[in-house]
Structure 1
Amino acid sequence: MAQFVREVMTAGVAAVRPDASLVEAAQLMRAQDIGDVLVAQDNRLIGVLTDRDIALRAVADGFDPLTVNAESVCTPAPVCVGPDDEVSTAVTLMRQHAVRRLPVVEDGRPLGVVSLGDLAEFQDPRSALADISRAAPSAGPGTVV
């Protein structure tokens, strides 16, 4: 029996405008406890911005995260899946493109994200990756709890 992306994806979209600063994007990631946000304008996906993008494409090069915008650092035109695509399609795309997350888009409109963790929980809820994906984040150095 085929399973569809809509059954395993994380619905809802955490998104920033293309002109949002990296600080705004990072604050949204922290507030939502996520590692990426979609960059969208007029309800259309422009790119994906990850915490790693911010660290490696901006901060590591000395750019000011208050003045650099999300569009300039994000991955533009990301690989996407549709909600009615089979889960196996998402797995194949992740392998082919070496990505951990895929935006779920319908008619150009972002609906959510399917992640490695979502797929791990779907394929083997008792796996280590599924356990890690479900776990609450640990407080890191300097984190006030």
Structure 2
Amino acid sequence: MAQQVRDIMTDTLVAVEPLASVREVARLMRDEDVGAVLVTEGDELRGLVSDRDLVVRVLAEGADPDRTTAVGVCSEAVVTAGPDEHLSRLAERMRGHSVRRVPVVDGGRVVGIVALGDLAIERDPESALADISAAKPNR
């Protein structure tokens, strides 16, 4: 059984520059089949845009998706983890901060991301969340 964040993190990152439009972010989410896109400037993590951010901060507000930038709607106070962090500690922090996705940062550089589903597959493989998370996308 995996014990560290590095054992379950996804190291394929989907990221945009801060001034990318939220339409571009939404298209990346669709094309890459992800629910969150990192906002980075060089190697520096500036924030994270989730599918919920798009709904609440763009659609519900009637904002123009071509003129609204990723940095304008991203969650900037992002909870992060280190690759050597123990999974039980990560689970506690995710619960405590009510977050579903956590970027993994090593030496100030983003090296991966862990989603709640990744944690469920590892920690409780028989759960409904693990089963749903492991299923193929239904495009």
Alignment of 1:115-126 (within 5 A): 115-126=115-126
Whether the aligned pair in 2 keeps the contact of 1:79 and 1:102 (CA below 8 Å) is yes
SS in 2 for 1:95: helix
Matched, 1:71 2:83: no
SS in 1 for 2:79: coil
Displacement after TM superposition at 1:11 (Å): 1.4
Give the AA of the match of 1:97: H
TM, length-normalised to structure 2: 0.95
The residue aligned with 2:54 is 54
User: Runs of 5+ in structure 1 lacking a partner?
Assistant: 140-145
Counterparts of 1:63 and 1:2 in 2: how far apart (Å)?
42
Displacement after TM superposition at 1:138 (Å): 2.8
TM, length-normalised to structure 1: 0.91
Matched, 1:38 2:38: yes
Displacement after TM superposition at 1:10 (Å): 1.3
Whether the aligned pair in 1 keeps the contact of 2:49 and 2:70 (CA below 8 Å) is yes
Matched, 1:103 2:103: yes
Counterparts of 1:73 and 1:37 in 2: how far apart (Å)?
12
Q: Deviations over 1:10-32 (max 9, x none)?
A: 11211000000001111111111
Give the AA of the match of 2:122: F
Whether the aligned pair in 2 keeps the contact of 1:2 and 1:86 (CA below 8 Å) is no
Q: How many residues align?
A: 139
Counterparts of 2:6 and 2:86 in 1: how far apart (Å)?
9
Percent of residue pairs bearing the same amino acid type? 50
The residue aligned with 1:142 is none
SS in 1 for 2:112: strand
The residue aligned with 1:113 is 113
The residue aligned with 1:11 is 11
Give the AA of the match of 1:98: S
Structure 1 residue ranges, 4+ long, deviating more than 6 angstroms after superposition: none
Counterparts of 1:111 and 1:18 in 2: how far apart (Å)?
18
Displacement after TM superposition at 1:133 (Å): 0.1
Counterparts of 2:72 and 2:19 in 1: how far apart (Å)?
9
- RMSD, aligned α-carbons: 1.3
User: Runs of 5+ in structure 2 lacking a partner?
Assistant: none
